Amino acid sequence: MRKKRGFHKNIRAKRAKCSLLKKQELSARKPKSDCKKDRKKSKRGCGTNVYIKDQNITFQKSGRGRRGPRGATGPRGATGLRGVTGPTGDYYGTGTTGATGFTGVTGATGFGATGVTGATGIGVTGVTGATGFGVTGNTGVTGVTGLAGATGVTGTTGIGVTGNTGVTGVTGLVGATGVTGATGIGVTGNTGVTGATGLTGVTGGTGATGSGNLLVFDQSPSSIELPLTEETTLTTVTVTTTSGQNVWLNTFTESLMVIGLAATFSYTLTLSIYRDDTLIAQVTEGLENDKVVGVLRVYSLVPGFNWVDSPPAGTHIYEARATFNGTNILVVDAITRGLIANIYEN
């Protein structure tokens, strides 16, 4: 094992220090020792050279003596700091997969006699339990019949104008007169036989319809509910017009509105007329008012309006629709409704 540098140097320094302490006890100066003379008196070889200055030993040099006993091992020094992790080694990829080993020989099939089937177990079926019983409870008392609701207000009878009677058509033309036969020549003979009656002429075509008004209407006294915020169809009529004709329209309804218990209420009612699902006219009425708190109230509405339409020639469907909105309104019913269409020449 290789010793660290300076090991022998430290040993020599320690020995020199011990000798120096002993020499300091000498009061007399000694001359330099003679190596040859000291070699005769001592088996250690060359003596020690001592240098004295002002009665103090300043330096000494001696030959190498015997190696002293090995000193006790000093305590183990503290563990040094962990060194920095070295760089990761180069990666050369996964090695080649080894060859597949040979499949082992299949073992011999085991054999053994099949065991005897055990005897079927025998057990007695348990007795069926007795049927449970209990007394049927009495029928509950029938509840009291509720009071009958108040009879609703009778709706107003609808009014409609009777249309005028159409003009009688023109009489057809008289058929043409047959050709007169030629006059006979010569002696007047006996009166000839009366000729056959000529064919009746063709009947003339029916004359054009005279000008006048044609009334078409639809009305009903039956009640229907008007759901809030929804547009509801009240009634419809179908009319056929020619070029240049106008249609005078009148729609109306009587509605009953039940107002709730709160102190205020409001409503808007919109009546609309559609031709072939296209809006052509519309009116809206509304009200916001106070009332007595805690009391229901029934409010009657009779809105309506007139409109003149100039449709193209053909068959058209007119509809009257209603839309109701409001606050503190419980229910709205249209109890009477109608739509009148009067066709006339432009």
DSSP letter for each residue of 296-326: -EEEEE--EEEEEE-PPSEEEEEEEEEEEEE
Question: Does 173 have pLDDT greater than 90?
Answer: no
Bridge-based pairing of strands 224-225 and 329-345 is antiparallel
* pLDDT, tens only, 183-202: 657 566 777 788 788 788 77
Distances (CA, A) of 343 to 11, 73, 234, 316: 144, 136, 21, 12
pLDDT at 79: 85
* Rounded distance between C-alpha atoms, residue 225 and residue 196, angstroms: 75
Closest residue by Cα to residue 339 from 220, 227, 241: 220
Residue in 333, 332, 330 with CA at minimum distance from that of residue 291: 330
Structure tokens belonging to residue 340:
């009148």
pTM for this model (two decimals): 0.41
HSE (side-chain half, CA atoms, 13 Å) at 204: 11
Average pLDDT over every residue of 34-41 = 47
The answer to whether the beta carbons of residues 23 and 57 sit under 8 Å apart is: yes
Cβ pair 336, 155 in contact under 8 A? yes
- For the stretch 256-312, pLDDT in tens is 999 999 999 999 999 999 999 999 999 999 999 999 999 999 999 999 999 999 999
- Averaged pLDDT, 110-136: 56
CATH 2.60.120.760 residue ranges in the chain? 214-345
Decide if domain 214-345 falls under CATH 2.60.120.760.
Answer: yes
Cα–Cα distances (Å) from 283 to 22, 280, 295, 323, in that order, read: 139, 11, 31, 11
